[in-house]
Amino acid sequence: MLTFLHRNLYPDDILEETENTLRLLFPPVELKSAKRTRLVAEKEGVDIEAAIAAYASLDLGSYPFWHERLEKVQKTYDAAHPKRMKQWWFNRRDKVAWATLWVAVIVFVLTVVFGMIQSVTSIMQVVK
């Protein structure tokens, strides 16, 4: 009786789906490009990414057990907006907004620079 209850405690294929979910949330990176992963690998002598070499599917329909939770994570991620300049620099989710922001920043800086040049030359003309 105990074996029967233990066997049906979790749905079939939940471990495989959980592994794919972890791959989706924490994609593997190359050891050469990830400082933290490289340091852990050197210190512990373990290849962290050996077990998660393949990428997971981006289709949330292929995650029947974790679908609702992954959907909440996706909605929260989509609703989040950058607050600091460094976050704006690395946020490439909306490429049009990213490009618009940096074009506006460049135009503002050029306007200030040329305004200062114009002011200095005007002062020099008045003095002469």
Q: Tens digit of pLDDT for each residue in 61-97?
A: 888 888 899 889 888 888 888 888 888 777 877 888 8
Three-class secondary structure assignment of the chain = CHHHHHHCCCCCCHHHHHHHHHHHHCCCCCCCCCHHHHHHHHHHCCCHHHHHCCCCCCCHHHCCCCHHHHHHHHHHHHHCCCCCHHHHHHCCCCHHHHHHHHHHHHHHHHHHHHHHHHHHHHHHHHHC
Domain-by-domain residue ranges, the chain?
2-80, 94-128
Rounded average pLDDT over 46-57 = 55
Distance CA 68, CA 8 (A): 22
Over the chain, what is the mean pLDDT?
A: 78
Whether residue 114 is predicted with pLDDT greater than 50 in this model: the reply is yes
Specify whether the CB–CB gap between 23 and 62 falls below 8 A.
Answer: no
Exposed e or buried b per residue across 74-97, where buried means at least 16 C-beta atoms within 10 angstroms of its C-beta: eeeeeeeeeeeeeeeeeeeeeeee
Residue 124 CB: number of other CB atoms within 10 A?
Answer: 9
Task: Give the Cα separation of 113 and 118 in Å (integer).
Answer: 9
- Against a cut of 0.85, is the pTM above it? no
Q: How far is residue 108's CA from residue 95's CA, in Å, rounded to a whole number?
A: 20
